[in-house]
Amino acid sequence: MFIATLIADPKAANLDAATVEALRNAWVGGAVRWLAPGIAAEFPLEVIPENRWQVWESLQGLGFDLVVQRAAGRKKQMLLADMDSTMIQQECIDELADVAGVGAQVSAITARAMNGELDFEGALTERLGLLRGLPESVIGRVIAERITFMPGGHDLLRTMKANGAYCALVSGGFTAFTGYVSETLGFDENRANVLGIEDGKLTGVPVLPILGREAKVQAFLEISERLKLEHSQVMAVGDGANDLGMLQLAGAGVALHAKPSVAAQCEIRINHGDLTALLYIQGYAVGDFA
């Protein structure tokens, strides 16, 4: 059995019964179950329809996400999450760069790296070089004034943890930020790069080893083995090219508001919903949220 889930942006809450019923009828699905009024609904299917991606494309213009997956094992026992533009709405290095006056230059490099056009390690080294001499105090300022959480993150962490899941934050960003995000949202552990700091200023040189795509894969393998979890029991979420390794290993790899080249390589693509979409696709209704 399979489950088709339709999800709207919670701010719009414009998922209507007519759309859900029309798709259910066209696909000869089972009874519709509403997970959140106007936001998410699901129905069972015997098979994955051949026109799945054509329908997905047509729903994009209406502002709806569509996910089709196996019904068995939907609820995951581990969440492995990227941080920048996933659990938070910013790219931390871009925010540091903006304060340093090189924001446009660094943002352009970040965008190309996340789209897979540049080698992640080389791009990180180049961007850090532009931050050399920036006062360490800027980190706290960016956290206090510029970092905002992706909507739904608190619900996602609280609900998965309340149901026994382990949650790890694995970022190509920096521990100076993952520590704050991890503690605030309730992650069980976090891994990221270390910002080189000497005499109260950023050195502009990466501290080795650099945590990129392969390190995220390694984290996936190490943590799942430590917890004795099958890959199918893991949900991973990210938006950039350096997330693809872990997204493709996970039982549910979610491309969240991802770069098109990244989303195209993932079975689960959330373009309109927020982080609560990761609960809906596991079968949690809004009344189940912790």
Catalytic machinery residues = 82, 84
CB 234 within 8 A of CB 78: yes
Whether the CB-CB separation of 106 and 93 falls below 8 Å is answered with yes
The one-letter code for the residue type at 227 is: L
CB atoms near residue 185 (< 10 Å)? 23
DSSP state of 9: -
- Length of the chain in terms of residues written: 290
- C-alpha 10, offset from chain centre: 17
Tracing tokens 């004034």 back to the chain, one arrives at 145
Q: Which of 16, 25, 14, 22 is nearest to 63 (CA)?
A: 14
